[in-house]
Amino acid sequence: MGEPRARQRKFAPRSRQGCLTCRARRKRCDGQRPHCQNCTRLNLSCEYQAPRRITADAASSQDSESSPDSSLTVGPLTQSLDPWDTLPGDEIGERKHLLRYYVEAFVPSVSVATTATGSFYTGLYIPWAFECDGMLDAILALSSAQLARRSASTDRAQHLRAVSARHQRKCHAFLADRVPETGGPPRDAYQVIGIILLLVGLEALNGDKSTRWLSQMKCVRGILQMLGDPGVSWELHSLRRHFTYHNAMASLMARVSKNESLFVYDDLTLACEPDTPLVVDPLMGITYYLCSLISRIQYVSSTNPAFPQISEAAFAVIERDIQQWTYGSPIGLPGLDLPQALDLIALAEAYRLAALIQLYRTSAAHKVLISSCASRAMEFISRIPPGSPAESSLLYPIFLAGAELDNEPEISKCFKRLAEIQQRNCYENTSNVQKVLEEVWRPALNGEQKRDWEDVLQEWGWSFTLG
């Protein structure tokens, strides 16, 4: 699909009068009362800070210093600036608070768009949470972990981290009870898959640098292969979509990991068809099929392939499929306004170019094409304004493109954007990306040869997801 024309975006001005929900989500608010457009569109609770009551006696204002009765009286605020800042004192109330945070703050923070088709984060996982203790614990672990990172109180953040760790331990106990050591199909297989994928997201949030998340992905792949074709099951199709997103991220770390058994190789049985009706995925937007193509890059990522001719043929097929990949237009989809649709198109093109960068890094003959792909990817990234929902999935293209930049102005712009994303999404894997790119760029900024990010990760022993 051709490049969309550059356009100007109109936002409501930043205002201290915005609703508490938008301010908690770090979104611009139009300030409309009783409900702003953001909260109306996302069906969120829209609340405003109670006004301060100031009373003064004009006649005695000159005597204000000597008369305490005539001084300005400021009424107490009925709510804190952040509606999520205060935790209930009891365990049941705290659990309800974290569940509400998951629906109203966490899910919007990780979703590239909200459409009428809904999201498996809420439409699938929330109903399961009322039936399955493991799913409930996974949701509570995620919510408390993110809320801890945005809490201004050190004590409250420490308490929330302890809450997250406790629920994470319960998740592992749940999984150990249902996944047989013999390797057979687990009990409650759907819920087991969903819990593991949420735990992969928790690894990204906490910035874990081990290969544990790759082991988790390998486990999910094995269960999906046991379950076979999804058929008409919406639940299994949703789980497969969630897996496809994280599997694309795993494909990037395949060459870095020293443990071959953790490689998450893809196969055609889990790939979607390119002519599937357009669905806006909460994590991938309109790039679902492209993410399945990205997963296949692992087939040609080996530095010493056993069958070079097969690898070369696979390279040509993957390159052709990525270059010729087309997608339906999201413009006009129910629940998706024009700026969001254009952001999803820019995100899709940034992913296409990042996928080509990932592919071309496996071929010495194609590495000369990487620089131009990186510059074009950064152009599409710049079309997505800061604070856009589509920004939540920018880490993959901005990392791959950013690592290939070779001039200081572009590097500065890239690092500034990463800092803005880190401030908004509170994910530690963004901080990991910043540290790696700093090491990649450090020699180049001193007039020396730029480092390769794979060498940096292997030297540091790091492996993290860009999800």
What DSSP line would sit under 156-215, residue for residue? HHHHHHHHHHHHHHHHHHHHHHHS-TT--PPTTHHHHHHHHHHHHHHHHHHT--SSHHHH
Same domain, 40 and 114: no
The whole-number pLDDT of residue 336 equals: 86
Same domain, 131 and 236: yes
Once rounded to an integer, what is the mean pLDDT over residues 269-275? 47
Residue 74 φ then ψ, to 5°: -105, 120
Q: What is the pLDDT of residues 88-109, one digit of tens each?
A: 778 888 899 999 999 999 999 8
In a domain, 157, yes or no: yes
Same domain, 29 and 178: no
In a domain, 283, yes or no: no
The whole-number pLDDT of residue 259 equals: 60
Handedness of CA 219, 220, 224, 225 (dihedral sign): negative
Once rounded to an integer, what is the mean pLDDT over residues 31-36? 81
Q: What is the pLDDT of residues 218-255, one digit of tens each?
A: 889 888 888 876 566 888 888 988 999 999 998 888 77
Once rounded to an integer, what is the mean pLDDT over residues 160-173? 95
Least confident among 46-60, 145-159, 168-182, 444-458: 46-60
pLDDT bin (cut points 50, 70, 90) of residue 83 is low
Counting the structural domains of the chain, the total is 3
The whole-number pLDDT of residue 80 equals: 42
pLDDT bin (cut points 50, 70, 90) of residue 82 is low
CA distance from start to end of the chain = 25
Same domain, 365 and 253: no
Q: Is the bond preceding residue 34 a cis peptide, omega within 30 degrees?
A: yes
Least confident among 38-52, 190-204, 333-347, 442-456: 38-52
The whole-number pLDDT of residue 55 equals: 37
Three-class SS state of 148? helix
Same domain, 175 and 310: no
Three-class SS state of 74? strand
Q: Global pTM?
A: 0.79
In a domain, 294, yes or no: no
**Which pair of tokens denotes residue 119?**
């999201």
Same domain, 248 and 383: no
Same domain, 42 and 108: no
Of 358, 351, 403, 395, residue with least CA distance to 377? 351
* Amino acid sitting at position 270: L
CATH assignment at residue 38:
4.10.240.10
Pairing relation of β-strands 73-74 and 54-55? antiparallel
The whole-number pLDDT of residue 231 equals: 63
In a domain, 242, yes or no: yes
Domain limits for position 26: 12-49
Once rounded to an integer, what is the mean pLDDT over residues 156-176? 94
What whole-number distance in Å separates Cα of residue 185 and Cα of residue 173? 17
Least confident among 140-154, 296-310, 327-341: 296-310
The whole-number pLDDT of residue 165 equals: 96
87 contacts 99 by C-beta, under 8 angstroms: no
* Amino acid sitting at position 68: P
The whole-number pLDDT of residue 203 equals: 93
Once rounded to an integer, what is the mean pLDDT over residues 38-47? 75
In a domain, 5, yes or no: no
The whole-number pLDDT of residue 258 equals: 63
Residue 341 φ then ψ, to 5°: -65, -40
Same domain, 263 and 335: no
Q: Which residues contact 216 (CB under 8 A, 6 or more apart)?
A: 196, 199, 200, 203
Once rounded to an integer, what is the mean pLDDT over residues 253-273? 57
In a domain, 80, yes or no: no
354 contacts 401 by C-beta, under 8 angstroms: yes
Burial of 368 (0-12, 13-18, 19+ CB in 10 A): exposed
In a domain, 298, yes or no: no
Widest distance between CA atoms in the chain: 93
What whole-number distance in Å separates Cα of residue 418 and Cα of residue 416? 5
Once rounded to an integer, what is the mean pLDDT over residues 376-396? 94
pLDDT bin (cut points 50, 70, 90) of residue 32 is confident
Same domain, 433 and 385: yes
pLDDT bin (cut points 50, 70, 90) of residue 394 is very high
pLDDT bin (cut points 50, 70, 90) of residue 312 is confident
Same domain, 420 and 339: yes
Same domain, 34 and 105: no
Once rounded to an integer, what is the mean pLDDT over residues 182-201? 92
Same domain, 265 and 310: no
In a domain, 68, yes or no: no
pLDDT bin (cut points 50, 70, 90) of residue 311 is confident
CA distances from 355 to 287, 293, 297, 352, 467 (A): 11, 8, 9, 5, 15
The whole-number pLDDT of residue 309 equals: 60
For the chain, what's the residue count?
Answer: 467
**Which pair of tokens denotes residue 440?**
């990649």
